[in-house]
């Protein structure tokens, strides 16, 4: 049974309903819904959403994820404009755009993803792009980087030892680190970000090792959250971690040099606290740690 601190309210509210209607009207997907994010009520009611492009079905089958696997959809050529229209209608100043994996496509959808970013930035909205690993192909990563999103994210998801049992075999711990490292090496000013789930059986030492690996790869922002099993089809939760464990890793993260650490049971990779930090850094040119500039 889930402890009280990871229980959330049923999604509702005028902004939630407005956003849901706008997305349905344009046949758009959000990771908020597809991944059954526990923060959907909080974020949607505040007018924040993470758009998931390139369809609602993923070519990979990670054991923690509830996004539908297989039966790949053709890309919608109008999707970039549809996303931009929804972002404008929602009044967003900062949009998070992610995608399913599209290993079935020659360029794995990188050019389509880049078009979405360009359309959203063309209406004056800042973008965080949460990208797949693109099988480590640097020419595809470059297509995203060339659009100049304010943040490029790619999630490591779990510690090295558990990667094979948690993620799809086509994903890899070192491959994810290489993607993040390449992005930072190519443009040292680019803000980079990654995310780790706890509660899958990882040790404290392994999480600390992963944090060091991410920081050594140039990652600026890390989010750390509790894995919550979306349904009985996904891998089971091994442990519901106490708040003290999240606090410990927050402190370790700052000690080893991350600019912002969002760590807590319901924190997710596109958690809006991190977005707030990025907005302030971009708009104010602040270089301080997130915990000092985010209220």
Structural domains of the chain ordered from first start: 4-293 (3.20.20.70)
The burial class, CB within 10 Å (0-12 / 13-18 / 19+), for 12 is exposed
Confidence band of 121 (pLDDT split at 50, 70, 90): very high
Q: Which of 252, 273, 276, 254 is nearest to 262 (CA)?
A: 273
Asked if 50 and 274 count as a contact pair (C-beta separation under 8 A), the reply is no
Contacts of 185 (CB under 8 A, 6+ apart): 218
35-44, 177-186, 239-248, 276-285: which has the minimum mean pLDDT?
35-44
Q: Regarding beta strands 68-69 and 94-99, do their DSSP bridges make them parallel or antiparallel, or are they unpaired?
A: unpaired
Least trusted range by pLDDT, from 32-36, 124-128, 218-222, 283-287? 32-36
User: Is 90 exceeded by the pLDDT of residue 295?
Assistant: no
- Quick one: CA dihedral 37, 40, 46, 49, positive or negative? positive
Mean pLDDT computed over 194-216: 97
25: tokens are 């009207």
Q: How confident is the model at residue 133 (pLDDT cuts 50, 70, 90)?
A: very high
What backbone torsions phi and psi does residue 28 show, to the nearest 5 degrees?
-100, 155
Per-residue confidence band for 34, with pLDDT thresholds at 50, 70 and 90: very low
Is the pLDDT confidence value at 273 over 70? no
Burial of 39: CB neighbours in 10 Å, binned 0-12, 13-18, 19+ = buried
Of residues 264 and 266, more confidence is placed in: 264
Distances in Å between the Cα of 135 and the Cα atoms of 98, 291, 295 are: 16, 34, 38
pTM of the model: 0.85
134: left (phi over 0), alpha (psi -120 to 50) or beta: left
Instruction: Give residue 108's Cα distance to chain centre.
Output: 18
**What are the φ/ψ torsions at residue 73 (nearest 5 degrees)?**
-90, 150
Backbone angles phi, psi at 115, to 5 degrees: -65, -40
Q: Residue 241 pLDDT > 70, yes or no?
A: yes
Rounded distance between C-alpha atoms, residue 34 and residue 57, angstroms: 9
Give bridge partners of residue 30 from the DSSP assignment.
Answer: 51
Mean pLDDT of 110-122: 97
Pairing of the two strands 94-99 and 126-130: parallel
Cα–Cα distance measured from residue 159 to residue 276, given in angstroms and rounded to the nearest whole number: 27
Residue 48 is predicted with a pLDDT of 60
């Amino acid at each position: 049974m889930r402890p009280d601190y990871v229980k959330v309210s049923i999604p509702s509210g005028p902004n939630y309903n407005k956003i849901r209607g706008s997305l349905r009207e344009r046949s758009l997907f959000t990771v908020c819904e597809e991944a059954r994010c526990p923060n959907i009520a909080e974020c949607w009611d505040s007018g924040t959403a993470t758009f998931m492009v390139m369809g609602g079905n993923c070519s990979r089958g990670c054991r923690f994820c509830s996004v539908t696997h297989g039966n790949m959809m053709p890309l919608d050529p109008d999707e970039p404009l549809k996303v931009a229209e929804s972002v404008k209608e929602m009044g967003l100043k900062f949009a998070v755009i992610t995608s399913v994996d599209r290993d079935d496509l020659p360029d794995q959808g990188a050019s389509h993803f880049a078009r979405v970013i360009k359309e959203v930035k063309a209406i004056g909205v800042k973008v965080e792009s949460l990208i797949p690993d693109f099988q480590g192909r640097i020419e595809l990563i470059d297509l995203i980087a060339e659009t100049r999103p304010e943040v490029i994210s790619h999630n490591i998801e779990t510690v090295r030892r558990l990667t094979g049992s948690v993620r799809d075999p086509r994903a890899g711990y070192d491959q994810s680190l290489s993607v993040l490292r390449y992005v930072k090496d190519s443009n040292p000013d680019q803000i980079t970000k990654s995310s780790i789930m706890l509660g899958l059986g990882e040790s404290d030492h392994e999480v600390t090792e992963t944090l060091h690996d991410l920081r050594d790869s140039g990652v600026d922002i890390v989010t750390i959250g509790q894995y919550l099993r979306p349904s009985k089809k996904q891998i089971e939760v091994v442990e519901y971690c106490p708040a003290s464990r999240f606090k410990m890793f927050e402190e370790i993260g700052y000690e080893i040099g991350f600019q912002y650490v969002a760590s807590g049971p319901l924190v997710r990779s596109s958690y809006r606290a991190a977005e707030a930090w990025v907005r302030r850094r971009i708009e104010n040119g602040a270089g301080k740690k997130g915990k000092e500039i985010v209220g």
